[in-house]
Amino acid sequence: MELKHVSELVGAGKDIESAYWELVVKDIQDTCKLLEPIYNETDGEDGHVSLAVSPKLANDTKGTIEAAKWLHNMVGSPCVYMKIPATDESISSMKEVISLGISVNATLIFCLPKYEAVIDAYLDGLESCGMTDLSKVSSAAAFYISRVDVTLDKKLEQIGTAEALDLKGKGAVAQAVLAYQLYQKKFSGPRWERLENRGAKKQRLMWASTNVKNPSYPDTFYVNSVIGPDTISTFLVQALQAFMDHGILSRTLDAKVSEAQDMYNAIEKLGIDWSSVGSELEHEVLDSFTKSFDNVLECMQKKAMSIYSFQKHV
């Protein structure tokens, strides 16, 4: 972002958040132009750019809908995704946004029940969409991995039994494997086939938080463990470099499904509630997103006013 531009916007009477969105929309438009050739070459399968609605709207269904509509209209590109967090209130907004023909990146998914609700919102939205051809509407569902293990491992350590400690570092991948099974189930059968006949695309699973947070785990552990068709993996630069150097490119996501189910059940039998873990992480990460958003606005305000004040005295 150009701080001089920020100061000009503020000097022209815009409030700092309006200035922020004007700059963000311009950045997203520029990025969309770079990726539109990929979007066109792949018939909309790839080449998407995500633009997050304000995290402050996470618990405001109507506000999220209006923000998504406004931002989508402002960017004006077919390859933009509206990034919406999977809170209960925002999942309700996803159906409406999808029904309007707006593509969505559903983020902050930490547990299977929430993931299923996200899929249902996508399917409901497609079914409610008045467009005859649904091929231009798509979605991704960002399912978090390593953050889940951080929380689970702490709970397993608190339990402290040999069985509990043996399950450390296994829960997040087990849940991801089951998420992929759910994906395959929901995007098959008569209901999906009716939508597919209208040109609908499957909502792709997108693995988020694939970087290893526990240094005792191999640095490619999560990336290696969730490789499978129709999925997207997000990487930090360090994780990508590690995988390029010594990662194993092999279909692992559905290689040990029954084992994953056993691990998932074993964690549950120890008294750990998966939905509660998901809710805990959702609030934690959403709070960090909101603080980051506020910090950016505060920094922009200080810098813009400093530059504007300096220019007035030159």
Q: Which are the catalytic amino acids?
A: 83
- For strands 139-144 and 204-208, give the pairing: parallel
Give the DSSP letter string of 248-279: --S--TTTSHHHHHHHHHHHHHTT--HHHHHH
Whether residue 48 contacts residue 39, with contact meaning beta carbons closer than 8 Å, is answered with yes
The per-residue DSSP string of 16-49 comes to HHHHHHHHHHHHHHHHHHHHHHHHHHTTTSS--E
The closest of 243, 214, 213 to 226, measured between CA atoms, is 243
CA-based radius of gyration for the chain: 21
For residue 254, the tally of other CB atoms under 10 A from its CB is 14
Structure tokens at 39: 């979007």
Alpha-carbon gap, residue 182 to 264, rounded angstroms: 14
Could you tell me where the DSSP H helices lie in the chain? Answer: 3-11, 16-41, 61-75, 88-99, 112-128, 146-159, 162-166, 171-186, 190-196, 221-225, 237-246, 257-269, 274-312
Beta bridge partners of 109: 143
